[in-house]
Amino acid sequence: MVLTAWLNLSGQGTVTFLNEVSSSHPALKSYASRLEVSRAESVTGNTPGNFGVGYGYFPGSPDAIGVKQTISATQSFEFPTNYVRRGKLNKETYAREETEYELNRVRTLLEARNTAYRYICLKAKLVVLQEKLAEYSALKSGLVAMLQEGAVTRQDFNRLNIELSITVSEISSSQAEINAIKSNLDYISGGKSTLLDAAGYDRFPEPDLLVLDSIRRAMHPAFLLYDKEFAISQQRLSLTRSDNLPDIEVGFGSEIIAGNHYTGPSVGLSIPLWTNRNEVKLASVRSSSAAVEREAAQSSLSSDLKTMFEYYMNLKQNFEAMKENYSVFGDVAGLAEALKEKEITISEYISYLESVYDIREAIIDLDKDYHVVLASLFDYLLADMK
């Protein structure tokens, strides 16, 4: 049998389906909603405090000395650099939230792609199982007459019936799993699972470990997230240093005492002598810790990438070897003729046929695993899918 008859060596890929997932997946809608909250939060808390207005009325004693009245308006400000640095901190915090959102999108879309690959794999295996059923059914029809003629034993006939029953059960189980996965695919894509009916596995260039590591360090949200965490720690350190600068209070007031008016501006400073003690040191330690954590985490991600790449190369080698072996030993066209010529027994025929179909299913599974790992190596591309 030609491999393309039951391997997904052609097809349009899953990109069209994943575009629907990107716009319809309930989890992605939830992530987007949370990001909008973070966007609103990023522009709050970066303005001066409330403007204050006061009025005082103080009757004199004795009455003859008159009434004292006071009117005041005041506004407090932090030192101007605080607003600049807090704005940068808010900007970096929002950038971190955006990166986390992109990481969640990549993971969600990769999970959807893996589910789609499982769906494609099961449909391919179902085709093989149906061919296997047709082969066994045709063989059973021929064995009925041979059994009556005494050309085959009851034991061989019963063994074929057992294999036939097992195949029917496997088809039923596969169909049930396909239906369950299809329901899930409809749920995450807004009912667009039919886009996968003619889909095959996605095509990617041959991966290079060093190139992949360089690209992922520059583009993958998992790497960038730790860069953002470090940038936030740096901005917090900068802001903490600014907290040592004085607050400023400006105002304008008026006093009226027994017909005399006193009106003019006022200026004051609030100097933080103790409130910020040791805060700069703490922020500096946290920033240094974030730098160490970033290096450790990104090194771990690179190590995971290397492990995945080695696994991919192993799968590729095994996949190619199994296909080559199948091309040599998997052809059953001459098997029926050998049986007819009594070169092999019915038992040997059934055993060989079972092995061939087992190998076909194993190749389909290996094909799926190979493409799952390959897609995972290039998962950063999913960040560009809107």
pLDDT in tens, 175-212: 999 999 999 999 999 999 999 988 899 999 999 999 99
User: What is residue 226's DSSP assignment?
Assistant: H
- 212: Cβ contacts below 8 Å, ≥ 6 apart: 305, 309, 377, 378
Terminal Cα distance for the chain, rounded: 41
What local confidence, expressed as pLDDT, does residue 58 receive? 80
What local confidence, expressed as pLDDT, does residue 1 receive? 39
What local confidence, expressed as pLDDT, does residue 63 receive? 66
Give the closest residue to 75 by CA, choosing from 249, 245, 252, 247: 249
What local confidence, expressed as pLDDT, does residue 333 receive? 67
pTM of the model: 0.84
Residues 43-79 as b/e (b if ≥16 CB within 10 A, e otherwise) read eeebeeeeeeeeeeeeeeeeeeeeeeeeeeebebebb
Task: Report, as ranges of residue numbers, the positions in the chain whose pLDDT lies below 50.
Answer: 1-10
Residue 302, helix vs strand vs coil: helix
What local confidence, expressed as pLDDT, does residue 13 receive? 85
Q: How many residues does the chain have?
A: 386
Q: What are the boundaries of each domain within the chain? A: 3-53+80-245+277-384
CATH of domain 3-53+80-245+277-384: 1.20.1600.10
